Amino acid sequence: MKSFGVVVFLLVLLNLTNCHGALQTGFYVGKCGKQDVESIIRNVVRQRFARDRTIVAALLRMHFHDCFVTGCDASLLLNGPTSEKTSPPNFSVRGYDLIDQAKAAVERACPGVVSCADIIAIATRDAVALAKGINYRVQTGRRDGPTSQARNVNLPGPSISVPSSISFFASKGFTTRDMVLLIGGGHTVGVAHCSFFQDRLFNFRNTGRRDPSMNANLANTLRGRCPRGSPVDNIINLDQTPGSSFVVDNGYYRQIRAGKGILEIDQAMAFHPSTRSIVSSLANSGRTFQTQFGAAMIKMGALQVLTGRNGQIRRTCGVRN
């Protein structure tokens, strides 16, 4: 029965990687002369990764923040006084310059062919692969959205409860397992400022004490890194596994299972009855995490996409044509 289950899952994954709606793998083959669009983008990402490994988390965050608002349409990239960039949840999003560099590179090769939305998806996959994550077969064929409004941004914060997070992801068509995979996949290479979790160290829910679900030794260490009243808002790795903070792997799940989650949602997922068994299965198998994370990323990348004659191919990612 176990082998049958594995075969069924791999068949489902194969279907996901070949075509998802109007998207497809290899969409740009033959559309840029003899140039390989994905290789052009990969080279830009590789050069950045060589000097800044934090770009992996940045691109994962950008991809998520773009897709979960009006779909994977690169609306997040548009500039403007009331664009999505001006919404507080997006203040810490970065990596725009890398997308611009990749766009400039593909425009030199074949102007007006490759969408900014596809560049985000391809660059994110390449960054994940460079960080020793799965090199999933990203689907392409997206077109860019014409609008971007801050009022449309409604993204979950780090203190969201597990039930509320499940509801949010379900509203977008994602399962609870998808949620655990997407949050964990982003947080395994992610960071957070002390201000986002300091209450867990000193005054959790106005109790005057630390969050009892946090490992005591970790809490003591973090108090030293995030002292109360400090004018410096330090940055802490969300995956506390030694040597794994910039690697896309399942170490994050092992850490939160041991009470070493940094953000409240991280720790809550490890202990909540709706997510506990999922966290354990991912903590116990790096292969399971990689395969299922790749499938979840493909699914996310197909969220409310514009294809065919819908939308446009922007000449510059931050400006409508």
Check the annotation: does 178 bind a ligand: no
Query: What secondary structure does DSSP assign to 209-228, as a single string?
Result: S--TTS-HHHHHHHHHHS-T
Structure-block tokens of residue 117: 């939305």
Check the annotation: does 185 bind a ligand: no
Check 63, 65, 193, 272 and give the catalytic one. 65
Check the annotation: does 188 bind a ligand: yes
50 class by beta-carbon count within 10 Å (0-12 exposed, 13-18 middle, 19+ buried): exposed
- Report d(CA 210, CA 203) in Å as an integer: 6
Strand partners, 75: none
Q: Examine the residue annotation and report whether 65 is marked as an active-site residue of this protein.
A: yes
CA distances from 299 to 42, 68, 205, 231, 262 (A): 21, 12, 35, 41, 27
Check the annotation: does 97 bind a ligand: no
Check the annotation: does 100 bind a ligand: no
Check the annotation: does 71 bind a ligand: yes
Cα within 13 Å of Cα(135), Cβ side: 6
Check the annotation: does 264 bind a ligand: no
- Report d(CA 257, CA 118) in Å as an integer: 35
Check the annotation: does 73 bind a ligand: yes
Annotated binding site: 66, 69, 71, 73, 75, 84, 156, 187-188, 239, 249
Annotated binding site for heme b: 187
- Catalytic residue numbers read 65
